Chains A and B, each alone.
Chain A
Amino acid sequence: GIQVEQSPPDLILQEGANSTLRCNFSDSVNNLQWFHQNPWGQLINLFYIPSGTKQNGRLSATTVATERYSLLYISSSQTTDSGVYFCAVRGYGQNFVFGPGTRLSVLP
């Protein structure tokens, strides 16, 4: 099945800093989602982005499906951005596979 890697595994930022999280996957996909898991465990949808670029406020994402990676950009980070960010990909005719996550800590 598809393998998903995320980097970095851990990231510590000062409030106001920018960051880039990366998701690599081992095979062709036709669906990709980014999630933020808050400290209470709730998974919050950030982007559904099988290809191209999307922006939502301080967050944006880019997926280059032909090169098998996706990037999540967080600008002007806030303490509420802390948590774990997951990438999930779906290959043709398959179910979603989740990466191991990037744990982000934003310090005040």
Chain B
Amino acid sequence: DGGITQSPKYLFRKEGQNVTLSCEQNLNHDAMYWYRQDPGQGLRLIYYSQIVNDFQKGDIAEGYSVSREKKESFPLTVTSAQKNPTAFYLCASSGLAGGVNRYEQFFGPGTRLTVL
């Protein structure tokens, strides 16, 4: 099945610990994105990557880091510098280069992170 997978589904972290959220896609999409969603609110962009080995900060990148070593993988690390990390994290991917809907985003099921 083609799609986007995220793991784990639920994650609990103690204060001061770094954690890494996994995102994998087999849609052959060029671009991948990480969003954060707080209760009752919309999504905010953390980081995005349009090609392998390149990524850019979104609107709320402080306290987060990413890597893009493979086209299909875009892991997100929530560092201890992130002051309020408890949230729902969603990964998305979009577009084949030159495609008609190259910016249409598709989302994974999300990871719920709770800091204890």
Contact = CB atoms under 8 A, between A and B. Distances in A.
Nearest to A90: B103
Contacts, number: 45
Given A41-B110, A42-B109, A86 B103 contact: no
A95 B110 contact: no
Majority DSSP secondary structure for residues of A touching B = strand
A51 B58 CA distance: 26
Contacts of A24: none
B42 A95 contact: no
B110 A45 contact: no
Contacts of A43: 90, 107
A54 to B, nearest CB: 12
Interface in A78-102: 86, 88, 90, 95-96, 98-101
Given A42-B107, A45-B104, A95 B41 contact: no
A90 B103 CA distance: 9
A100 B42 contact: yes
Given A41-B88, A43-B90, A48-B101, A96 B107 contact: no
Interface residues of B, number: 21
Interface in B20-52: 33, 35, 37, 41-45, 48
Chain A CB count within 10 A is highest, among B43, B88, B104, for: B43
A31 interface: yes
B105 interface: yes
25 contacts: A4-B42, A31-B104, A33-B105, A35-B107, A40-B109, A41-B88, A41-B90, A41-B109, A41-B110, A41-B112, A42-B109, A43-B90, A43-B107, A45-B105, A48-B101, A48-B104, A88-B43, A88-B105, A95-B33, A96-B103, A98-B42, A98-B43, A99-B42, A100-B41, A101-B41
- A-B pairs with lowest CB-CB distance, top 10: A98-B42, A43-B107, A48-B104, A98-B43, A41-B110, A31-B103, A100-B42, A48-B101, A42-B109, A95-B45
